[in-house]
Structure 1
Amino acid sequence: MGIETALADRKGKEFCELPKVTNTNSKARKSRRRQKKTSPVQKLFETCKEVFSFHGVDNVPSPEDVQRLRSVLDDMKPADVGLTPELPYFRTTPAHRTPAITYLHLYECERFSMGIFCLPPSGVLPLHNHPGMTVFGKILFGTMHIKSYDWVADVPCNTSTHVNSTQIPSSDVRLAKVKVDKDFTAPCNTSILYPTDGGNMHCFTAVTACAVLDVLGPPYSDPDGRHCQYYLDYPFSDFSVDGITVPEEEKEGYAWLNEREKPEDLAVVGALYRGPKIVEN
C-alpha cells in the first residue's frame, strides 16, 4: 500500500517530465496497472512464497513474517476466492447422513499449501494435529466452534493408572491443555497455531454453514513424516498419573488424548476451485 500511495502522489508530475523519460514513465504506469489488477488470492500466494521461502519443519517464520501473512489473510473475503453461502457445498445434510466436507485445493508445493474447507451445518473436522507446521486459518463466513489443545510437556505417558471404563490402555493416553474452546463468527481475525503452541491439535464443528481458508507451512507429507493423526479426547478425571495433580477448578482445562485411526465416517471430498486464478511466476 505504501508503494502504491507513493506512485499515486507522483502521478501528476509524470506528465511534466521531459520526452527522454516518457518510456520509463510508461513502464511505471503499466506496473501500477498490474499492481491494481493483482487479486487478493494472488497477493496471498505471493506473500506465502516469501514468508515460507526458507522455512522447513519446526522452523517458524519470524514474528514480522507471521504478522505480514496474517494481515493479508485478515483482509480476505469470500468473494476473493469465488465463494458464496449459496453454493451446494454448504447445503444442510439430511439428519441420517454425516455431513460431507468439501476441500478446494488452491495451491501446494513442498514449502506451503493453500486450501479451503467448506463445511455444511453440523459438519465436523475431527480432532487432528499438524506436526512441525505453522498453520494460518481464516474463517471466511459463518460460525464455527473450535476446540484446540497443546501437549503438556514432560508428562510421562507410561505410568498412568486406568480409572475409567473405556478399556483404553493407560499408556496410550497423553496429557494436553485446552488452548481454545469457543465459537468464532466471521468476520474475525486469522488464527495461528505453531508446532508446539497455539493449539496444534484442533477440531472444527460448523455451527452454521462456514468456510475456512487454511495455509500450512510446510504441508502434510507422509514421505517426510508429517502424517495427519487423529485423536479422541477424555476428561482429565478419567485417568490419573502418579505425581500429576491439577486443582479441581482447572480440570476442565486439561484432557487426555488418545491417538486413533482416521474416523470411518469422515467424508472430505475434493472439488474444483473456481475462484480467481493463481499465477505462478
Structure 2
Amino acid sequence: MGMEKMAGERKKRRTRHKRVAAVQKLYDACRDVFANCGPGVVPDAQGIERLKDILNGMTEHDVGVRPNMPYFKVKETEGFPKITYLHLSECDKFSIGIFLLPPTGVLPLHNHPQMTVFSKLLFGTMHIKAYDWVDNIASSSAPKSDSSECEETAEEKTDSVRLAKLKVNSDFTAPCNTSILYPTDGGNMHCFTAITSCAVLDVLGPPYCDAEGRHCQYYRTHPFTSFSAGDNKQLPGDDEKAKELDYAWLEEIDKPAGLSVVGAPYNGPRIVEKE
C-alpha cells in the first residue's frame, strides 16, 4: 500500500508539472510570436502554427477549469445569462483569458479591430456565427420598413451599416481544433452561443485598447434583402438565393442591455510573467 501511495504522489506531481508547463509554454510562445507585431500586423506563418499547435494540445485541465464550477449554474434572470472571464495575462502585445459561458449564454456579435485572435474551445458545445466585411460595397439606401425579420422599426434604424459576408455558422463540440481570426479575414466579427456549459481559451494580439482605437463594437444583423440598394448584382456568384443567405448588413449598436461579463480570479496553474 505504501508503494502504491508513493507512486500515486509521483503521478500527481508529474501531472501538476505538465499543467504548469502547458500554460507557461503558451505564454512564452505568445511573447515570442507577438513581439514584433502590432495593430493590424499578423504574425508570420511559423508563429501562427506554433500557437495553434500549443492550443490544440491544451485541455481544461491545463488551466484548471471544469464543467461543474459554480459559474455555469444558470440563475433565473432577464436578458443574457452571466458570463465569467478569467484573466491569465495581458500586456500591450497580447492577452490570454478564458470565457466561461453557462448553457444558453451568449457573447453577442462583436468585432476584433486590428487583431489576430486564437480561440480554443476547452469543453462543451457552442454555436459560432462569424462575418467578415465586404469592403467594396457600402449601403446607400435606408432599410425597408416592411421587413418582418427586423424587430426594430425603420425610424429606430440608422445608416451606420456595412455589408458583411458569412464565414462561419456551425456548432462546435470539444475536443476540436483552435479557430483563428485575422484583422480582415476568418470571421473577425463573431457571436458565441453556448449550447452546453462552455469554456473558451482566448489569445488576442494585440488586446482591446480604447485609447488606441481598439474598441469592442457590437452589431445587429439585418437580412441581406432588408436594404434596397440593388448592390446584389455586384456580389460574386449567380445564385440570388445563396447571396441572401451568405451576406448580411451589420449595424453598429451599443453594448446590448442585459449583457454581463464579470471577472473572476484565475486559480489554475500559475504563469510566470517575464519583463
TM-score, length of structure 2 as denominator length: 0.85
Are the aligned partners of 1:44 and 1:72 in contact in 2 as well (CA < 8 Å)? Answer: yes
Are the aligned partners of 1:60 and 1:134 in contact in 2 as well (CA < 8 Å)? Answer: yes
1:107 equivalent in alignment to 2:95:
no
Matching residue of 1:269: 262
**1:182 Cα shift?**
0.7
Matching residue of 1:162: 143
Query: Hey, what's the Cα distance between the residues in 1 that align with 2:76 and 2:18?
Result: 44
1:145 equivalent in alignment to 2:123:
no
Distance 1:174 1:180, change over 3 A: same
Q: Secondary structure at the match of 1:99?
A: coil
Matching residue of 1:32: none
| Counterpart residue identity of residue 174, structure 2 | A
Question: After the TM superposition, which residues 70-149 of structure 1 pair with which residues of structure 2 at under 5 Å, given as runs?
Answer: 70-94=52-76, 96=78, 98-149=80-131
Q: Secondary structure at the match of 2:244?
A: helix
Matching residue of 1:226: 214
Distance 1:37 1:95, change over 3 A: closer
Matching residue of 2:273: 280
Indicate the percent of aligned positions where both proteins have the same amino acid: 57
| Counterpart residue identity of residue 67, structure 1 | E
Matching residue of 2:37: 55
CA RMSD of aligned residues (A): 1.7
| Larger RCO (CA within 8 A; separation ≥ 6) | 2
Are the aligned partners of 1:164 and 1:239 in contact in 2 as well (CA < 8 Å)? Answer: no
Are the aligned partners of 2:120 and 2:202 in contact in 1 as well (CA < 8 Å)? Answer: yes
Q: How many residues align?
A: 246
Q: Secondary structure at the match of 1:171?
A: coil
1:208 equivalent in alignment to 2:208:
no
Query: Hey, what's the Cα distance between the residues in 1 that align with 2:166 and 2:120?
Result: 20
Q: Secondary structure at the match of 1:266?
A: coil
**1:280 Cα shift?**
1.7
| Counterpart residue identity of residue 121, structure 1 | P
**1:181 Cα shift?**
0.4
Deviations 1:134-165, CA, capped at 9 Å, x for gaps: 000000000000000000111123x1243134
Matching residue of 1:176: 164
| Counterpart residue identity of residue 187, structure 1 | P
Question: After the TM superposition, which residues 177-196 of structure 1 pair with which residues of structure 2 at under 5 Å, given as runs?
Answer: 177-196=165-184
**1:80 Cα shift?**
0.5
Query: Hey, what's the Cα distance between the residues in 2 that align with 1:36 and 1:90?
Result: 26
Query: Hey, what's the Cα distance between the residues in 1 that align with 2:19 and 2:34?
Result: 24
Are the aligned partners of 1:160 and 1:170 in contact in 2 as well (CA < 8 Å)? Answer: no
Query: Hey, what's the Cα distance between the residues in 1 that align with 2:69 and 2:231?
Result: 53
TM-score, length of structure 1 as denominator length: 0.84
| Counterpart residue identity of residue 164, structure 2 | A
| Counterpart residue identity of residue 274, structure 1 | N
Larger Rg: 1
Are the aligned partners of 2:116 and 2:206 in contact in 1 as well (CA < 8 Å)? Answer: yes
Uncovered stretches (5+) of structure 1, i.e. residues with no partner: 1-34
* Structure 1 residue ranges (4+ consecutive) displaced by more than 6 angstroms after TM superposition: none
**1:251 Cα shift?**
1.1
Matching residue of 2:10: none
**1:36 Cα shift?**
7.0
